[in-house]
Structure 1
């Protein structure tokens, strides 16, 4: 396996685990003053240290799509790229519309119906929000590919520099046209290409990314904890947004670390990482099924330091198994591209 394959496999794996962690810890976030402070702090710290997960998936997409030198084929692109994600998203949205009606008290059809009616502008289940801002990026990617091919690397540096500045403005709540969601997510695409193709891979570049990303994580957690304690309730401002500079720096750090460590894994580790990576989208889509009983029945009693890892393993393993099972049959494999 070459470096590129190992690198992307590893990045998908750690991002998938971090996504599950964010969803597992959700019940603890608003418990400030209800549970012991150290338990709340543990959950909030894990949350703050995991916000890079979704951006890393977008960075990977940017690195792959913008480095693709093949001529653009609209029919292929719509069918094999956009359609491959859009159709499963619709199917799983309908499934989770149904699941949303279930609780410890049983099934409530009115809840599911209301969720369905609002699905055109609001996700049917908490983890599907990713697709509402990820799918529109497929309409932006062809234009970014043209930018890279016609105007070269300088255009990528310029575009990314402007975008980074706007993520800082957004973090500081200085709003304007740059605060539009599509713009703030779009910037991750050329950044992924830049980190993959233009930034040299050496100890200095990795060290700088770790320094900046590490500081960003520490500042993020400190700010969330500080404003929450002062307000006496869980308050995050924009510090946990995917569209702010602190999250960008953290995601870039993880991206560069995976790129740096990708070749150092053993053959056995590569096999495990490759298998998980192959089913990473399936894990993303399916893990809430295995988290449902935890949230519906309140099976998260205990210190987050052991409850969160336990449910990451339970839901992650269950989702991986189910994804593998679905992918085995040609009749169902299209559900998890």
Structure 2
């Protein structure tokens, strides 16, 4: 018992608490995005209280996915243990690959026979399932796992670059990635709104500086970089302004259109980038050990460790929970907004409870959640 206590204390000291808290808040934000998605897409209601409520909730939650990638970069990059390709893939791939395959099959079965039933024959279903898994069309939230699996094949190489890179070189990468991925994507979106055409800039087509890899390296950099109080103030002001601007800009670029324009909801939009950086740095610079008691911190760590399972299972919980909720109150905007908040909290807590319950059986837990 004493040895176990010592090991637990050492593990607790090794934890980075702000990353645990960010992980929990991010999974809650992802659930918020999914719960509010239908209502925020109903643009015929744009001038109602409820639409603005879900628009603001959705906008404020959009930094969640970039933060998830930044957390992964903060934990995986710069780690000597992750430099060996064979050992890294042997350890990491099964932990995410097996649950991904299992849940892809589960969602595919439920989609075709329960959620959106079209009842294909058993042989037809086999072909459909293989095609949908290969093409990432099983269920919309699984795209995140595809990106993580792809990143696992890159991280050992990036680790070697990180290990030998000077701070100025990391800053150069982040600046280049910002212009090629964030600024260019935002510019393209705005230009398309104005002209209904894309403005393609050939020399910005630089693969190494595009995509989600930038969030991984950004997370590693922000974790290890200290900013002055003045600089943090500038970052918070920019991030806060971006967070407030996102719902307003979404309204302005959607008004008069047939469908919701999600430019400022996007993972690579300037508003999402600025808010994600500000939130990450803000939580990093809070002394959580002094502000949160040990019992609450243990609960947060438990939730943090369950986030992958919650991510995989929460849409099933949401689908069946929403079907059980009375819709009569939806006619009154205030009640509809309360219903959304209750649904978000319920989906999170039920998903967490199911994951912890399954975790009681280590073999099943390993298969389902890694």
What is the TM-score when the length of structure 2 is the normalising length? 0.82
Which residue number in structure 1 is paired with residue 118 of structure 2?
Answer: 108
Cα offset, 1:180, TM superposition = 6.3
More moved, 86-95 vs 207-216:
207-216
Does structure 1 residue 196 correspond to structure 2 residue 196? no
More moved, 81-90 vs 159-168:
81-90
More moved, 269-278 vs 55-64:
269-278
Conserved? CA contact 2:82–2:156, under 8 Å:
no
Cα offset, 1:255, TM superposition = 1.2
**Structure-2 separation of matches of 1:71 and 1:331:** 25
Conserved? CA contact 2:310–2:348, under 8 Å:
yes
**Structure-1 separation of matches of 2:67 and 2:57:** 17
Task: Determine which of 196, 208, 211 is the counterpart of 2:237.
Answer: 211
Cα offset, 1:91, TM superposition = 1.0
SS of the residue 1:25 aligns to: helix
Matched ranges for 1:189-268 at <5 A: 189-200=216-227, 203-231=229-257, 233-236=259-262, 238-261=263-286, 262-263=288-289, 264-268=291-295
Call closer, same or farther: CA 1:133–1:180 in 2, change over 3 Å.
Answer: farther
Does structure 1 residue 171 correspond to structure 2 residue 186? yes
Conserved? CA contact 2:74–2:220, under 8 Å:
yes
SS of the residue 1:67 aligns to: coil
**Structure-2 separation of matches of 1:48 and 1:71:** 35
Does structure 1 residue 333 correspond to structure 2 residue 365? yes
**Structure-2 separation of matches of 1:141 and 1:134:** 10
Which residue number in structure 2 is paired with residue 88 of structure 1?
Answer: 99
- Moved segments of 4+, more than 6 Å: 179-182
Conserved? CA contact 1:97–1:116, under 8 Å:
no
Call closer, same or farther: CA 1:192–1:29 in 2, change over 3 Å.
Answer: same
More moved, 293-302 vs 215-224:
293-302
Instruction: Count residues with an aligned counterpart.
Output: 334
Conserved? CA contact 1:123–1:132, under 8 Å:
no
Conserved? CA contact 2:53–2:337, under 8 Å:
yes
> What does the per-residue CA deviation read over 1:103-126, in whole Å, with 9 as the maximum and x for residues that have no partner?
57x843239944653321123112
Call closer, same or farther: CA 1:154–1:182 in 2, change over 3 Å.
Answer: closer
Matched ranges for 1:314-329 at <5 A: 314-329=346-361
What is the TM-score when the length of structure 1 is the normalising length? 0.90
**Structure-2 separation of matches of 1:277 and 1:323:** 12
Conserved? CA contact 1:16–1:284, under 8 Å:
yes
SS of the residue 1:109 aligns to: coil
**Structure-2 separation of matches of 1:15 and 1:181:** 27
Which residue number in structure 1 is paired with residue 80 of structure 2?
Answer: 69
Does structure 1 residue 54 correspond to structure 2 residue 65? yes
More moved, 52-61 vs 241-250:
241-250
Call closer, same or farther: CA 1:181–1:271 in 2, change over 3 Å.
Answer: same
Cα offset, 1:251, TM superposition = 1.1
Higher helix share: 2
Call closer, same or farther: CA 1:249–1:28 in 2, change over 3 Å.
Answer: same
Please tell me the root mean square deviation across aligned C-alpha atoms, in Å: 2.6
Structure 2: segments with no counterpart, 5+ residues: 1-11, 189-198
More moved, 302-311 vs 93-102:
302-311
